[in-house]
């Protein structure tokens, strides 16, 4: 109770849903009052000078909305209003939606503006921004002005809340965790950043921080853990080399670029291990990374997840996910130059990640 008896007590009393910590509130309040030369408000010039470099295109929108809701001097924004908005954004899904609906005409507009701002601050191309928006908004709320409907939508699509909190964090000078992992061993030009963020968001939280690149050019592999395996980037075309780098090494992501320019792959929740048995759990998934961004999970716990085998006479030779025999939603042949992709396999949600039944690796 001691911390709440300080100058923060009035601010905290104004909040119905408090998610920011006392330390965050105190830090932000002190910094804003310093910027405002001790005054309890920011004028427009000071507000834009403070936030333009971090909030970008949303700066004027936020100022105008906070100013409109100010019952006092409309040419000023009270510091408590800034703190209250940030707290609502960082609170529950319901308070986040309430704040976005207060700032924008409807939730669809809010989502578009927030992702555009996120894209600019994260150097996403126009294509990535649109593909990312299409991905998170694949099943938009039926009523984009209804708070309950939009809250249910945010609850189903947790990535939206993470993106919004990342965009609005500079309001109170909060450092948020990056939504993409650190790539040990170099950068991958194969996997667009927007796709990387979408795929990473589907992993368990403890596996989202760090990927170790093992093999990359037109096939990209990454372990989701620090690895003792050398993480230098290879530019050869050898299935046996790839197998040596991922066989038995644990959970990993495999990404392929086809000759048609499509980028797709799979996440193996327990990795690949050579032999006749499948590995993995229902946390495994397939994905598209370009030209669309999509993630597809198993329909049920059917046991046929990650498969890796080679130099066998009676078993399929290659690396695959969710299939058997000649029927696979994703399979790379041992000859390493080609693969197969069956449309709408029953083992996974309806998908056709390669966009063709037989693909050639670029």
| pLDDT of 70 | 55
Percent of the chain having pLDDT more than 70? Answer: 88
pLDDT exceeds 70 at position 244: yes
Mean pLDDT of 108-125: 96
User: Per residue in 32-74, pLDDT tens?
Assistant: 999 999 999 999 999 999 999 999 999 999 999 998 655 655 6
Query: What is the token pair recorded at 219?
Result: 């096939």
| pLDDT of 303 | 81
| pLDDT of 216 | 57
Domain extents for the chain?
Answer: 3-172, 182-360
In terms of CATH architecture, what is 3-172? Orthogonal Bundle (1.10)
Confidence of residue 3 (pLDDT cuts 50, 70, 90): very low
- Whether this prediction's pTM lies above 0.85 is answered by yes
pLDDT averaged over every residue in the chain: 87
| pLDDT of 324 | 87
Confidence of residue 311 (pLDDT cuts 50, 70, 90): confident
| pLDDT of 73 | 59
Mean pLDDT of 147-156: 96
Burial of 162 (0-12, 13-18, 19+ CB in 10 A): middle
The strand pairing partners of 255, in sequence order, are: 220, 265
Query: What is the token pair recorded at 248?
Result: 């038995």
| pLDDT of 16 | 43
User: Per residue in 175-230, pLDDT tens?
Assistant: 888 999 998 877 777 889 999 999 999 999 999 999 988 765 556 677 776 554 43
- The CA distance from 336 to 318, in Å, is 8
């Amino acid at each position: 109770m001691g911390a709440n008896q300080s100058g923060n007590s009035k601010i905290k009393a104004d909040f119905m849903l408090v998610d920011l910590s006392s330390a965050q509130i105190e830090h932000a309040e002190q910094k804003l009052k310093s910027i405002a030369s001790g005054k309890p408000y920011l004028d427009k010039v000071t507000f834009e000078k403070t936030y333009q470099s971090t909030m970008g295109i949303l700066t004027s929108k936020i100022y105008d909305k906070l100013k409109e809701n100010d019952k006092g001097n409309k040419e000023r924004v009270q510091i408590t209003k800034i703190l209250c908005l940030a707290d609502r954004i960082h609170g529950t899904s319901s308070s986040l939606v309430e704040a976005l609906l207060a700032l924008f005409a409807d939730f669809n507009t809010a989502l578009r503006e927030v992702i555009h701002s996120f894209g600019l601050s994260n150097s996403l191309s126009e294509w990535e921004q649109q593909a990312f928006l299409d991905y998170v908004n694949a099943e938009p709320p039926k009523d984009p002005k209804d708070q309950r409907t939009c809250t249910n939508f945010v609850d189903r699509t947790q990535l939206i809340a993470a993106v919004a909190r990342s965009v609005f964090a500079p309001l109170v000078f909060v450092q948020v965790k990056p939504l993409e992992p650190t790539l040990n061993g170099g950068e991958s030009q194969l996997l667009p950043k927007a796709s990387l963020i979408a795929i990473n968001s589907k992993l368990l939280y403890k596996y989202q921080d760090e990927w170790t690149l093992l093999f990359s050019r037109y096939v990209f592999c990454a372990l989701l853990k620090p690895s003792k395996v050398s993480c230098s980037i290879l530019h050869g075309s050898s299935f046996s080399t790839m197998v040596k780098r991922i066989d038995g090494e644990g959970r990993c992501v495999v990404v392929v670029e086809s000759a048609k320019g499509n980028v797709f792959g799979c996440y193996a929740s327990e990795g690949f291990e050579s032999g006749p048995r499948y590995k993995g759990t229902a946390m495994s998934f397939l994905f598209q990374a370009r030209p669309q961004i999509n993630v597809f999970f198993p329909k049920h716990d059917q046991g046929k997840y990650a498969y890796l085998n080679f130099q066998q006479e009676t078993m399929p030779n290659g690396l695959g996910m969710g299939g058997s025999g000649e029927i696979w939603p994703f399979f790379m042949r041992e000859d390493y130059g080609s693969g197969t992709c069956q449309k709408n396999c029953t083992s996974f949600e309806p998908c056709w990640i390669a966009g063709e039944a037989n693909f050639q690796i670029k």
